[in-house]
A and B are shown apart, each in its own frame.
Chain A
Amino acid sequence: MKSLELENVCKKYGEAVAVTDMSMHILTGELVSLLGPSGCGKTTTLRMVAGFVEPSSGSIRINGRDVTKLAPYERNTALVFQSYALFPHMTVAQNVGFGLEMRKVGKAEREEKSFEALKRVRLDHLADRYPRQLSGGQQQRAALARGLVLNPDIFLLDEPLSNLDAKLRGEVRSEIRGLQQSLELTTLMVTHDQEEALTMSDKLVLMEAGGVRQSGTAQDLYEQPADAFVADFVGRSNVIPGRIEDGQFRTEDGTSMPTVSGSSVDARYYTVRPEKITLSRDGDGVMGTLRERLYLGAQTEYTVMVGNASISVVTATPGPDDMRASLRVGDAVRLAWDAASARLLNN
């Protein structure tokens, strides 16, 4: 059984707080993502698990053993760096064998295991090449092989897709997830890309300003955001400030929004996902003015002003016969959505 536990981990640099009161638990074979904007403390957390940064307080346990004070080379973690950090003066095979060599594994066994790991990432035919002779995607697979050959307690991924072009990204995403699941790698991944986090993780930990804002499954975070920050960061959301009056949510300029009865009277934000809203020329719903229309191919994104609030709507691109196809900026439109698909948040 493998596990990673963080308990009330804090990291301060002088007065500046990088990570505060971070607690989490990863079980065997789970992939947990640390998600958040840059500077939220996710990378510092990853570096603390790897041992490059010592926590100011709190403890880190790997497989139940306290490793808080251990040096990086005394922990059995495998970190795949954002820049891959392959050794440029060693061949791919030597790179993959390096960790085994450090563990005093004999030459024959080392070569066999390296070859096996390279085969897993389909790089066995490039074992004698130098990193500079590989493409970005191949370099990343070499970096993955270098980590997984060690059968690490914890697999650490630092922004694994950020250096790849958009087309390769989807492919590598499923490849990494496939490897992680088939080898049951206990994995902590850091990413700022919510799509990456939503598609790859068993669990997400959303961080902001050094603290955890919400953790849970992708569905939890998407369907039940704890606050306006989560709603806005995970997926996209219209976050409209206002208050409850007579059981109805009213925006700051008094426009009334569809509200389910019995909503919390303390609600200060009204959130609704762009894809839950239907837009029409004349029908039921909230009145607004079309301010912008972005053609995205299969989808079209509209920005509509409702009073002072700007609301995004994403729909399948209307066909030529559709009334909406002829909409112009400045036209009056109607927005409608099910009151139950909106969420009211207190902060």
Chain B
Amino acid sequence: MAKLVLPAGLLVLLLLGVPMLLMLRYSFNEYDPLYIMQQAFTFENYAKAVVDPYYQKILMTTITVALTCTVLTTLLAYGPAYWLARMESRWKSKLTILTMFPLLVGGVVRSAGYLALLSTTGLVNATLLGLGIISEPLTLLYTPGAVIFATVGIVLPYMILTLASVIESIPRQVEDAAANLGARPATTFFRVLVPLSLPGVLAGASLVFILCMNAYATPLLLGGPQFQMMAPAVYEQFAKASNWPFGAALAFILLMVTIILTTLGSSVIANRYKAG
């Protein structure tokens, strides 16, 4: 077993580290319309991405959408996660598998599902029209709302499963003890359950935030041409503009911002709770 650790570690390093290092190197190269790039060491690509208001806006949109989705997902997931964690019947394992079920289908396919749900002729509009609640189809698709709605739907299982496993590790007697000492359910929730499940909330929120920051298919399919987020922008530079150095720089900005915000967010929330 121990003998396998080193070769396995080297393989992982090779598979994960080398492409990253290559990208990092590319991000300092110079763009060349003819040969894609020229060997160089310039910060020009980074400077362009940071200074250009177009890319500033894309980054801000990405952060806003990711934060909104993370908060919404956490709020939406806690109840079902608690319910699942405290369930004692034989349905528990079946429901856990059911929660994982959407993960078997890729994000692209699920985004397409939301497309069918939200389009002018989709399920929501057809139902509302059929019931006579509206006379003209609502514009649901190609709005920031559509992207947030679909993204939350896609990342929800990750959050529920992460939270449920942490809540499961909190002894129920601790909640009972709070009630016995006179705490109403809401007090038990905020004073006992939330602080004790905080590691799960932070782990789940970090995971979801990272997934949202890097969302590709959902903003592309449901956001429409006017709605821009970072991952599609990176792809555009590589595939369409053939500007590899600039695409690589954008990718590294996305990576750094994600890392910084995730670390910062986790420590701020953890500290606030320690103080309170």
A71 to B192, CA, bound (A): 18
* Interchain CB contact under 8 A, B181 and A85: no
For A51, the chain B residues whose CB sits under 8 A away are 179-180
* Interchain CB contact under 8 A, B183 and A85: no
* Interchain CB contact under 8 A, B192 and A77: no
Q: 3 smallest A-B Cβ distances: which pairs?
A: A102-B182, A99-B181, A85-B173
| Interface CB pairs A-B, < 8 A, 11 | A50-B176, A50-B180, A73-B181, A73-B183, A79-B177, A85-B173, A85-B177, A87-B178, A89-B196, A103-B182, A150-B181
Q: Which residues of A contact B (CB under 8 A)?
A: 50-52, 71-73, 77-79, 81, 83, 85-89, 98-99, 102-103, 146, 150
Residue-wise, chain B 168-187 has the 8 Å CB interface mask toward A (1 for contact) of 00010110111111111001
* Interchain CB contact under 8 A, A146 and B181: yes
A73-B179, A81-B176, A89-B196 given. 19 additional CB < 8 A pairs? A71-B179, A72-B180, A73-B180, A73-B183, A77-B180, A78-B180, A79-B180, A83-B173, A85-B174, A86-B174, A87-B192, A98-B191, A99-B181, A99-B182, A102-B181, A102-B183, A146-B181, A150-B181, A150-B182
A77 to B174, CA, bound (A): 16
B201 to chain A, nearest CB (A): 14
A99 to B180, CA, bound (A): 8
A52 (CB) vs chain B CBs: closest residue: B176
Q: Which residues of B contact A (CB under 8 A)?
A: 171, 173-174, 176-184, 187, 191-192, 195-196
* Interchain CB contact under 8 A, A98 and B173: no
* Most chain B CB atoms below 10 A, which of A77, A79, A146: A79
B186 to chain A, nearest CB (A): 11
A248 to B227, CA, bound (A): 100
B175 to chain A, nearest CB (A): 9
For A88, the chain B residues whose CB sits under 8 A away are 174, 196
For B183, the chain A residues whose CB sits under 8 A away are 73, 98, 102
A79 (CB) vs chain B CBs: closest residue: B180
For B181, the chain A residues whose CB sits under 8 A away are 73, 78, 98-99, 102, 146, 150
For B176, the chain A residues whose CB sits under 8 A away are 50, 52, 72, 79, 81, 85
B182 (CB) vs chain A CBs: closest residue: A102
A146 (CB) vs chain B CBs: closest residue: B181
For B177, the chain A residues whose CB sits under 8 A away are 79, 81, 85-87
A150 to chain B, nearest CB (A): 7
A103 to B184, CA, bound (A): 11
A83 (CB) vs chain B CBs: closest residue: B173
For A102, the chain B residues whose CB sits under 8 A away are 181-183, 187
A73 to B184, CA, bound (A): 6
B276 to chain A, nearest CB (A): 11
A149 (CB) vs chain B CBs: closest residue: B181
A76 (CB) vs chain B CBs: closest residue: B182
B269 to chain A, nearest CB (A): 14
A50 (CB) vs chain B CBs: closest residue: B180
A83 to B195, CA, bound (A): 20
A99 to B210, CA, bound (A): 40
For A103, the chain B residues whose CB sits under 8 A away are 182
For A79, the chain B residues whose CB sits under 8 A away are 176-177, 180
For B192, the chain A residues whose CB sits under 8 A away are 87
A52 to B177, CA, bound (A): 10
A79 to B173, CA, bound (A): 10
For B180, the chain A residues whose CB sits under 8 A away are 50-51, 72-73, 77-79
A143 (CB) vs chain B CBs: closest residue: B177
The answer to whether residues A85 and B171 also contact, given A52-B176, A72-B176 and a CB cut-off of 8 A, is yes
A229 to B184, CA, bound (A): 42
One of B173, B174, B182, B195 near A73 (C-beta < 8 A): B182
A78 to B176, CA, bound (A): 11
For A81, the chain B residues whose CB sits under 8 A away are 173, 176-177
A112 to B196, CA, bound (A): 27
A187 to chain B, nearest CB (A): 15
* Most chain B CB atoms below 10 A, which of A86, A98, A150: A98
A87 to B170, CA, bound (A): 10
A246 to B180, CA, bound (A): 60
For A146, the chain B residues whose CB sits under 8 A away are 181
B173 (CB) vs chain A CBs: closest residue: A85
For A99, the chain B residues whose CB sits under 8 A away are 181-182
A83 to B187, CA, bound (A): 22
A121 to chain B, nearest CB (A): 17
A117 to chain B, nearest CB (A): 13
A51 to B179, CA, bound (A): 9
For A52, the chain B residues whose CB sits under 8 A away are 176, 179
